[in-house]
Amino acid sequence: MCVKLMISKGELNIEDWNFFLRGGTVLDRSTQVPKPKANWITEAAWDNITELEKILPDTFTGLSTAI
């Protein structure tokens, strides 16, 4: 209920909320930054990192290169 109220008031972006709930969906991995060889980063986690950079570039630009 709180989330619905925040969305209706414009205090929460629906795209951000959906990303939080479902994570990122990569449709074309050919344009995705290559995943580091680190074993602790799963494919799903890497998908979320790269999609987060696309959805919120002002906040997360450079995250994938920093990892």
Instruction: Render pLDDT for 22-41 as a digit per residue (tens, 0 to 9).
Output: 888 888 888 888 999 989 99
- Looking at the chain, how many residues does it have? 67
List, for the chain, all residue ranges whose pLDDT scores fall below the cut of 70.
Answer: none
Structural domain count of the chain: 1
- In this structure, are residues 64 and 49 in contact, taking their beta carbons and an 8 Å threshold? yes
pTM: 0.72
Tokens of 65: 């290169």
Q: Which domain holds residue 32?
A: 2-66
- In this structure, are residues 48 and 30 in contact, taking their beta carbons and an 8 Å threshold? no
According to the model, what pLDDT value does residue 4 have? 93
